[in-house]
Structure 1
Amino acid sequence: MNELNLVRAFYKTGVYVAELIEKQEEKQRALVKVVAVLKHPTQGDLHNPKMVDVPLFHQRKALAEFEKTWVPLSSLKAFEGELPNYRVSLQEAVEVQKKALKNENNDWARMSLDKLNECINEYGF
């Protein structure tokens, strides 16, 4: 690990730069504190990816700055590089996802874009 104990943490469908707070080897999990967003979570139903005919099409916001969460140890990787600013990283992750969704021409992408736009409004940018 690096000096600041920063890791890449995968949580559901999002990817974050996080500070490793605690490891629980026996439970195979780690407590991390989010400091930047590398990939915004995917919208929709995690159990039925890219499907629109589901009971609830979820809006998935990124974990907040300094939010703590438990992740599987297997989802952690060392973080290398310069630590991005949380808000800037969130905006960049949203833009990457928006662009990818606009390139797809299907109902799932349109519904995902609607949900992502709801997230953007809540983020305030």
Structure 2
Amino acid sequence: MTENTFVNGEIVTAIYKTGKYIGEITDERPNAYLVRVLAVVNHPTQGDLHNPKQTDVSLFHQRRALAYREQTNVPKNMVRPYDETVIPDYQSSLKAALEKQKQKLSEGGREWDQKSLEMIAELEADYFK
């Protein structure tokens, strides 16, 4: 698989851990791009990433979305071109990503779904004060 090559200022989508973001390339590193977050596409998954969909873990992690204009190193193979003409507003995109995730979780009946919904409710209270 061939990696895309990007230059500073280019708008991309980037997957970081379990979240997906729209961002701007601000630097290139040997194995990663430094990406400045502009919008959220998919909110990060809650819980223990090493034991997915399980609640009987030592710590059920609450995972926040990267903040607006926060910069993070994203492996080059997780960066793709952004093909749309409009970049959504960060707050609106965060709210939409959470709603999409809550809808999916509410359709599941597992204990993990319920625990994730509890974590998201706490995050929402913090995100949208």
Specify the TM-score bucket, using the shorter chain as the normaliser. Answer: over 0.9
Where in structure 1 are there 5+ consecutive unaligned residues? none
CA distance in 2, matches of 1:2, 1:31: 11
CA contact (8 A) 2:8 2:25 kept: no
Aligned length: 123
Identify the match of residue 77 of structure 1 among 69, 80, 84.
Answer: 80
Counting aligned pairs with the same residue, the percent is 42
CA contact (8 A) 1:7 1:79 kept: yes
Q: What's the TM-score, normalizing by structure 1? A: 0.94
- Alpha-carbon RMSD: 1.5
* SS class of match (1:88): helix
CA contact (8 A) 1:43 1:58 kept: yes
* SS class of match (2:52): coil
> Is 1:15 the equivalent of 2:20?
yes
CA distance in 1, matches of 2:47, 2:120: 10
CA contact (8 A) 2:14 2:78 kept: yes
Q: What's the TM-score, normalizing by structure 2? A: 0.91
Q: 1:3 to 1:55 in 2, by over 3 A?
A: closer
